Amino acid sequence: MRFLVDALLPPALARWLEQAGHEAWHVADVGLLSSPDSEVWAFAESRRAVVVTKDQDFFELAAWRAQGPQVLWIRIGNCTRAELIRAFECVLLAAVRALQAGEQIVEIL
């Protein structure tokens, strides 16, 4: 699966997703660190990548549009990188299955 990790999350998450066997980019990797959400959305759509984000704006985009990238919406509060990655380790398989089944938005709480 392909993932585009948004600016509110650390690049280390993209690296971890790659180590877990996925194709992943952080917005900083592709020159989109300071870009508006619409450009991040368009990049994800063009790469058929899931947007991984803490930003509610992407949730709203996915909820209101019939087409476009899927969103993995991180609802975990402030935490360290290590805590974030531990949380992902626990739920990644289920999240990927939900996305593969066609869920437009998958929340990680």
Give pTM, 2 decimals.
Answer: 0.96
6/64: higher pLDDT: 6
CB 12 within 8 A of CB 59: no
CA angle 86, 9, 38 (to 5 degrees): 140
Q: Residue 55's domain spans which residues? A: 2-108
Rounded to an integer, what distance in angstroms lies between the CA atom of residue 4 and that of residue 6? 6
Which CATH number is 17's domain given?
3.40.50
- 76 φ, ψ (degrees, to nearest 5): -70, 140
> In the chain, how many domains are there?
1
**Residue 48 pLDDT more than 90?**
yes
Confidence class for position 80, pLDDT limits 50, 70, 90: very high
In 3D space, the residue among 71, 6, 15 whose CA is nearest the CA of residue 33 turns out to be 6
13/67: higher pLDDT: 13
